[in-house]
Amino acid sequence: MDSFSHLGQGFSVALAPLNLVLAAAGCFTGTVLGLLPGLGPINGVAIFLPLAFALHLPPESALILLASVYMGCEYGGRISAILLNVPGDAGAVMTTVDGYPMAQKGRAGVALSISAVSSFLGAFVATVGIVLFAPILSDWALSFGPAEYFALMVFAIATLGGMLGGKPVKALLGCFIGITLATVGIDSGTGVYRLTFGSIHLSDGIQFIVVVIGLFAISEILVMLEQTNVGQQVVRVSGRLLFNAQEFTSALSTMIRSALMGFGIGILPGAGATIASAIAYTTAKRISDKDGSFGDGDHRGVAAPEAANNASACGSFIPMLTLGVPGSGTTAVMLGALTLYNITPGPLLLETRPEIVWGLIASLFIANVLLLIMNIPMIGLFTRMLRIPNAILVPLIASISFIGVYGIHSSTFDLVLMVLLGVFGYILRKLHFPTGPIILGFVLAQLMEQNLRRALSISDGDPKILFASPLAISLWVLAALVLLAPLVWNLLKRVRGPTPAARDKTRNVPLDGTRD
Amino acid sequence: MKSADGKGAGRMSDRVFAVLWLSVCAVIAFQMFKLKVPFAYEPVGPKAFPLLMAILMALCCLMLLIRPDHQVHWPERPMLMKGAWLVASLLAYAALFSLLGFPVATAAMSLVVARLFGGSWMSSSITAVLIGVLGYLVFDRLLEVSLPLGLLSLDA
């Protein structure tokens, strides 16, 4: 198999000393950011992105660092879910349902270790999936013309905004706002300045990093200010630290099933870790809950969502790497990282820059092993991190964000714009706008416009070209379907209704998948 | 205009935002019509895409106006004041970052922000000094991300 020789090549990239150190550092800080309530993968990746760039890391190393932070966050979210009953990130919402009761019954060690192993298994299954499916998908995508590409991006936006958004109008509006922000500056086709309002600072457009840090670090700080009053008790880890053989074998089938489901869901644009873990949990409950122990501290109820959310996080790399179209906010940020290095994402990436793609895939395997090692013996260290007060954390996040943005262009204007965008992002979040679509729109805007204009140049202005091929037509139909799906979804929800436990836990965290 | 029940007040936010954003759409559309394009090689010039976005955003805003969907809980007055302080200190940090230099600007920002997040004077001051000094040493000296020294630079 060709893939395996490429993977070998990838391992030689990922095992280079610098990349190994970055992976370890990323895994560690990712876990810490993941376990801190409020900060999730998208914030972690956003804060690290400008740093990676300012440190002059080569593109494959930067991506390895960001991917390890992402995976670390998915591991870390479960720690606060189990010990605090507060999900550390949106993907760990369902882990609180059985994780916290387990901790209360003195089985915190078992819950933490079995969820670490399921996280490992989920991520491992999904990474194998990437190795198998990525080359196939990218071969297929090579046949895409500009019209198909445009339709594909419309489909990605429609899924993120429509199917699972819960508030399609706001998700779509957010996405259009992101696209509009990206059109500011010089137009590459004609050289005219658009929407710069005469400002020299805006003539190059709004920097991607400024938008990312504004939306995901500054606005997060403003949101955190309102939540300073939490005086929750951390459950002490006592009793057995490791699960026993019987617990492992009884959960194994749940883990594998959840991992496969998570991977499949992760590939879909728009549906991320949050949705995956919710579906995996409800499925596990339906299949295995014979004595009603789910919701009351069943270890399988911890294993299912954790396997699924890690699998889905890894699966979400597939559309980003093979199509150049990210399916989630976090992968959109990573895709933007590539464009900072003047690397055009898309199906050609696998051929032109194999060291980036395969290096990243290999580093997912390595990061996963590192995380398993960190998360079982070193768990005590991480639980202590739960006590970091915001009075130290927030100034630290603010200064690191500023260092990253300043380190790139040394521009005061960028810093001020970043704070203003942060305030704008805060207002949007208070109005219940999901932030994922904004960044997705911002990242996709240029490609969308280029492909639209290229397609219409080919047809000399005839819009029929957008609907000319069967592939394009099916993508348009799919996009229309997912936009109409929320209506059907809502009807179904009204008929069936979620389980009482799930409804309880998800009241505060919207299950819209836009913060994955 | 204030409605008596909290529900109405909450949904008002969506409407206010929709109206404001409609005017943003109008500005974008106006800017695009005003735009002078020297000559076009291609059937679709630089105006079409932003215009399309303005129209789509306007449609979304109209839908929000007709059916605002969420209650918004804006923070109470004391929290709003703290928020204003936080924004002001971040803006000042941004504006004075290169003038004051990283260590001084960061320590000042950290002190205010740590206080806002409930730190005591003592612990906030220690945090502030540590982040300012260590941040500079780690990032500028160790990791070679060039940061301004500002007030502390000796060559002035």
Write out the two tokens for A430: 């208070």
Model confidence pLDDT, tens digit, residues A404-416: 999 888 899 999 9
pLDDT band for position A473 (cuts 50, 70, 90): very high
Say how far residue A43 (Cα) sits from the centre of its chain. Answer: 10
DSSP letter at A226 equals T
Global pTM?
A: 0.88
CB contact under 8 A, A394 and B114: yes
For residue A162, what pLDDT is reported? Answer: 66
**Taking a C-beta distance cutoff of 8 angstroms, is the pair B129, B107 a contact?**
yes
Candidates B44, B94, B115; nearest CB to A419: B94
For residue A164, what pLDDT is reported? Answer: 53
Residue in the block written with tokens 């299950």: A511
Lowest mean per-residue pLDDT among A41-55, A440-454, B65-79: B65-79
CB contact under 8 A, B87 and A222: yes
For residue B125, which residues of chain A lie inside 8 Å, CB to CB?
A: none
Say how far residue A137 (Cα) sits from the centre of its chain. Answer: 20
Using CA atoms, how far residue A16 sits from A54, A319, A355, A366, A373, in Å, is: 20, 26, 12, 12, 20
For residue A51, which residues of chain B lie inside 8 Å, CB to CB?
A: 145
Q: CA of A474 to nearest chain B CA: how many angstroms apart? A: 22
For residue B15, which residues of chain A lie inside 8 Å, CB to CB?
A: none
Smallest CA-to-CA distance from A146 within A479, A459, A480 is with A459
Candidates B49, B75, B94; nearest CB to A418: B94
Candidates A55, A197, A423; nearest CB to B145: A55
For residue B4, what pLDDT is reported? Answer: 38
**Taking a C-beta distance cutoff of 8 angstroms, is the pair A262, A312 a contact?**
yes
For residue B38, which residues of chain A lie inside 8 Å, CB to CB?
A: 190, 192
For residue B6, what pLDDT is reported? Answer: 42
pLDDT band for position A502 (cuts 50, 70, 90): very low
- Cβ-based neighbours of A233, under 8 Å, separated by 6 or more: none
CB contact under 8 A, B43 and A221: no
Candidates A55, A169, A406; nearest CB to B147: A406
**Taking a C-beta distance cutoff of 8 angstroms, is the pair A160, A514 a contact?**
yes
What is the CB neighbour count within 10 angstroms for residue A174? 28
For residue B42, which residues of chain A lie inside 8 Å, CB to CB?
A: 189, 453, 456-457
**In sequence order, what E strands does A85-141 have?**
none
- Cβ-based neighbours of A3, under 8 Å, separated by 6 or more: A131, A132, A135
Q: CA of B132 to nearest chain A CA: how many angstroms apart? A: 9
Q: Is the pLDDT of residue A149 over 50?
A: yes
Q: What DSSP line would sit under A422-471, residue for residue?
A: HHHHHHHHHTT--SHHHHHHHHHHHHHHHHHHHHHHHTTT-GGGGG-SHH
Smallest CA-to-CA distance from A405 within B132, B58, B139 is with B139
CA angle at A126 for the pair A267 and A375, rounded to the nearest 5°: 125
Exposed / middle / buried, residue A222 (Cβ in 10 Å: 0-12, 13-18, 19+): buried
Candidates A194, A448, A457; nearest CB to B46: A194
Q: Give the residue from A190, A220, A223, A483 with the most B CB atoms within 10 Å of its CB, the best one to mutate.
A: A190
CB contact under 8 A, A398 and B75: no
Q: Is the pLDDT of residue A34 over 80?
A: yes
**Taking a C-beta distance cutoff of 8 angstroms, is the pair A212, A472 a contact?**
no
For residue A434, which residues of chain B lie inside 8 Å, CB to CB?
A: none
Classified as helix, coil or strand, A186 is strand
Model confidence pLDDT, tens digit, residues A327-360: 778 899 999 888 888 888 888 888 888 889 999 9
b/e string for A123-136 if b means 16 or more Cβ within 10 A?
Answer: bbbbbebbbebbbe
For residue A123, what pLDDT is reported? Answer: 95
Q: CA of A76 to nearest chain B CA: how many angstroms apart? A: 23
CB contact under 8 A, B118 and A422: no
CB contact under 8 A, B114 and A395: yes
DSSP letter at A348 equals T
Range picked from A18-32, A41-55, A477-491 for highest mean pLDDT? A18-32
Model confidence pLDDT, tens digit, residues A379-433: 888 888 888 888 999 999 999 999 999 988 889 999 999 999 999 999 999 998 8
For residue A176, what pLDDT is reported? Answer: 94
CB contact under 8 A, B69 and A173: no
Per-residue pLDDT of chain B (156 residues; tens, 9 = 90+): 333 344 445 578 899 999 999 999 999 999 998 888 776 667 788 888 999 999 999 999 999 998 887 778 888 888 999 999 999 999 999 999 999 999 999 999 999 999 999 999 999 999 999 999 999 999 999 888 889 998 887 654
Domain residue spans of chain B: 1-74, 76-156
Q: Give the residue from A188, A195, A225, A409 with the most B CB atoms within 10 Å of its CB, the best one to mutate.
A: A225
Number of residues in chain B: 156
Say how far residue A384 (Cα) sits from the centre of its chain. Answer: 25
Q: What is the percent of chain A where pLDDT is above 90?
A: 49
> What long-range pairs does A15-18 form, CB within 8 A, spacing at least 24?
A15/A362, A15/A366, A18/A61
Q: CA of A301 to nearest chain B CA: how many angstroms apart? A: 32
Give the helix/strand (H/E) hosting A312. Answer: helix A299-315
Q: What is the percent of chain A where pLDDT is above 70?
A: 92
DSSP letter at B74 equals P
For residue A176, which residues of chain B lie inside 8 Å, CB to CB?
A: 53, 56-57, 60
Residue type, B82: K
For residue A388, what pLDDT is reported? Answer: 87
DSSP letter at A83 equals H
Model confidence pLDDT, tens digit, residues A155-212: 888 887 765 556 788 889 999 999 999 999 988 878 888 988 888 888 889 999 999 9
Smallest CA-to-CA distance from A18 within A55, A69, A61 is with A61
DSSP letter at A269 equals T
For residue B102, what pLDDT is reported? Answer: 95
For residue B123, which residues of chain A lie inside 8 Å, CB to CB?
A: 391-392
Write out the two tokens for A289: 């809950």
Taken in order A97, A102, A108, A114, the sign of the CA dihedral is negative
